[in-house]
Structure 1
Amino acid sequence: MDLQIALFLVQDGVINGAIYALLGMALVLAFTVTRVIFIPQGEFVAWGALTLAALQAGRLPGTVWLLVGGGAAVALAELAACWRARDARRLPAVLGWNVAYPLAVLAAARWVPLAGLPLAVQILFALAIVVPLGPMVWRLAFQPVAESPVLVLLIVAVAVHLALVGLGLLFFGAEGSRTPPFTEGGIELAGVPVPAQTLWVLGCSAALIAALSLLFGRTLYGKALRATAVNRVGARLMGIPASLAGSLCFALCALIGAFSGMLIAPITTIYYDTGFLIGLKGFVAAIIAGLSSYPAAAAGAVLVGLLESFSSFAASAYKEVIVFTLIIPVLVWRSLASRHVEED
């Protein structure tokens, strides 16, 4: 291996690490706020990329129908809750977000020629389709069992993952898709060509991490999420609804996942089940962080990306095994270094 090959591998590892960092931070967010190990995080990666590819090809993405169906299911659940509580004040908001909004998105997707619009508009519209699916997954699958032990929540997460993978196959088929790069061209760094899409991945990942930092540090909703992550019972006593925290948390997870998929879609072909493996590597980064620290998750993601890149060069057949084996020493070290307590 010479210096130029090493620089290529470092570039590839840093790009992958930037995506894994976003997913690792999303998994840490989901676990600290809701105690859910959000295994379906990877599905939003695939859905974001495939939805954007369908819009650019002039097709109606299947996620639109999932948005309409999920909204109807959430509306029925909320209507039943309002009926039991004899509370009709929430009905306009429930029907607006879960019925009117999905139907408006469906109408726009069917009748507006999105394929000819600028890329930024297509990305925003794809996010408008995919991101609301996160709160819907929370409301239908996790909110009814939100107070259950972590093991029960993990089993539910696995079931949701399997269901979403099947829906992805139904909506998008087994063929993969790629999207055009955001911009053409690139630069040369130390004799190594760096495509423009690589710069987009790094820049957008850094901007999204900075935006999340501002959200948690400067906004009321971000501080509510931080309070829920630190002490769920105390946050509830201070008037922060657990359902609102869960919905907002899953919306952020869906946003991070979908946008990450759009960033990597011009670099690699995305299939309906591609997100699972990418999400697992983000999970490795989150495990390195102990499912509790955002900076540690970002650092662990870069480590995972570099390890994967150099492993693919030295032993490509075993690169996945090498990456996932990283969990074992981390878990052993944390088990020896931490004090074991019984879960309340």
Structure 2
Amino acid sequence: MDLTIAAILGLDGLTNGAIYALVALALVLVFSVTRIIFIPQGEFVAFGALTLAALQAGQVPGTVWVLVMLVVAGAVLDGIQAVRERWSVQRIVMRVITAVTPPLMIAGLTKQVASQQLPLFVQVLLTLALVTAMGPLLYRVAYRALSAASVLTLLIVSVGVHFALTGIGLVFFGAEGYRTPAFWDARFDVGPLSFTGQTLIIFAASIALIVALFVFFERTLMGKALRATSVNRTGARLMGISGDAAGSLSFTMAAFIGALSGLLISPSTTIYYDTGFLIGLKGFVAAVFGGLASFPMALAGAIGVGLIESFGSFWASAFKEVIVFTVILPILLWRSFVDPHHEEH
């Protein structure tokens, strides 16, 4: 291997690492706020890419029906809760307006305009809206009633949600893979390296989102509320911060980040209904590097995962996945020394 090949592999590793960084950030965010190891994060990535591919083909994306299913399931749970707690008519109306109307409007608008050849920018906005709307609904249906459960219970639920979403993805999107067109077809040569427009967009979008998250957590009231919940859920609740609202917001942000990651990566690789699982696992390896608590360490871990995957594919392409996932073993050993486990009561 000479320096030219190493530079090319390094650029490819940084590009993949930027995607894994976004997934890792979402995983750390969800876990720190809700204690949920959110295995289905990869499904948001796949759904984002497949939704845009369907809109590009002039078809109604399966995400529309997934969103409607989640709305119906959430409405049923709200109805049961309303009967048990004897909600007033005003409260029921407000819940319908706030929880049901927006996602149904997004689904209806997408179904109405899906067959039209809309500009790519509009299709991207529709995709982000559809997948992002799934986040709080998924939290409502699968996790909100278990907010006080143990981490192990929440992990088991996450595994079940992952398999459910994978099966739903197969039903609504089929087994065929899709690749979307690049957002920018330009190419720039810098010495031995060749930067595509899509690569630059990936770097720019990742940096912009990281900066936006930093500003959100440091400067906004909602961001500070999420930080307080992640530090001490009980203390935050005593200060008037709703744990359910914090969980719903974290899932909304995770869904948006997942959808954006899918849009960024789909021009570079073919996405199938189950592709998100591998992407999510690599993001999980990066998140574990930061102990599922540190955003900067998760970013560093994501870059490391991307570089290991890139150079591993050069030396032993058939074992690149094995190499990446084996890396988690020394990381776990290291974390066990620097952050000893305390028994949960």
Q: Normalised by the size of structure 1, how large is the TM-score?
A: 0.97
Deviates more, 1:4-13 or 1:330-339: 330-339
Task: Name the residue aligned to 2:305.
Answer: 304
Task: Name the residue aligned to 2:280.
Answer: 279
Distance 1:142 1:261 in 2: 24
Distance 1:338 1:221 in 2: 29
Q: For 2:188, what is the secondary structure of its paired residue? A: strand
Task: Name the residue aligned to 1:62.
Answer: 62
Task: String of CA shifts for 1:95-149, please: whole Å, max 9, x gaps.
Answer: 1244333332333223225642222211111111111111111111111111111
Task: Name the residue aligned to 1:47.
Answer: 47
Q: For 1:259, what is the secondary structure of its paired residue? A: helix
The alignment of Structure 1 onto Structure 2 pairs a total of residues equal to 344
Q: Structure 1: which amino acid aligns with 2:235?
A: G
Task: Name the residue aligned to 2:10.
Answer: 10
Q: For 2:148, what is the secondary structure of its paired residue? A: coil
Task: Name the residue aligned to 2:79.
Answer: 79
Structure 1 runs of 4+ aligned residues shifted over 4 Å read none
Task: Name the residue aligned to 1:135.
Answer: 136
Contact preservation (8 Å) 2:169, 2:273: yes
Contact preservation (8 Å) 1:56, 1:114: no
Contact preservation (8 Å) 1:224, 1:245: yes
Matches within 5 A, 1:1-344: 1-88=1-88, 89-112=90-113, 115-344=116-345
Q: For 1:6, what is the secondary structure of its paired residue? A: helix
Q: Structure 2: which amino acid aligns with 1:230?
A: V
Unpaired runs of 5+ in structure 1? none
Distance 2:168 2:341 in 1: 39
Contact preservation (8 Å) 2:103, 2:133: no
Q: For 1:131, what is the secondary structure of its paired residue? A: helix
Pick closer, same or farther for the CA change 1:189–1:92 going to 2, 3 Å: farther
Distance 2:311 2:73 in 1: 46
Pick closer, same or farther for the CA change 1:200–1:333 going to 2, 3 Å: same
Q: For 2:272, what is the secondary structure of its paired residue? A: coil
Distance 2:341 2:5 in 1: 45
Distance 2:64 2:203 in 1: 29
Distance 2:230 2:262 in 1: 26
Distance 1:90 1:123 in 2: 34
Distance 2:150 2:244 in 1: 17
Contact preservation (8 Å) 2:8, 2:192: no
Q: For 2:29, what is the secondary structure of its paired residue? A: helix
Structure 1 residue 64: deviation in Å? 0.3
Q: Structure 1: which amino acid aligns with 2:320?
A: K
CA RMSD of aligned residues (A): 1.3
Q: For 2:293, what is the secondary structure of its paired residue? A: coil
Deviates more, 1:89-98 or 1:187-196: 89-98
Distance 2:223 2:246 in 1: 9
Contact preservation (8 Å) 2:131, 2:255: yes
Contact preservation (8 Å) 2:60, 2:114: no
Structure 1 residue 227: deviation in Å? 0.4
Q: Percent identity?
A: 57
Contact preservation (8 Å) 1:289, 1:300: yes
Task: String of CA shifts for 1:195-238, please: whole Å, max 9, x gaps.
Answer: 00000000001001111111111111111100000000000111
Task: String of CA shifts for 1:137-173, please: whole Å, max 9, x gaps.
Answer: 1111111111111111100000000000000000100
Q: For 1:194, what is the secondary structure of its paired residue? A: strand
Contact preservation (8 Å) 1:68, 1:99: no
Deviates more, 1:87-96 or 1:315-324: 87-96
Q: For 2:68, what is the secondary structure of its paired residue? A: helix
Distance 1:115 1:18 in 2: 33
Deviates more, 1:144-153 or 1:303-312: 144-153
Q: For 2:181, what is the secondary structure of its paired residue? A: coil
Distance 1:142 1:115 in 2: 37
Contact preservation (8 Å) 1:131, 1:255: yes
Task: String of CA shifts for 1:282-311, please: whole Å, max 9, x gaps.
Answer: 000001101110000001100000000000
Distance 1:7 1:178 in 2: 26
Contact preservation (8 Å) 1:281, 1:304: yes
Distance 1:98 1:92 in 2: 10
Q: Normalised by the size of structure 2, how large is the TM-score?
A: 0.96
Distance 1:110 1:23 in 2: 28
Contact preservation (8 Å) 1:127, 1:258: yes
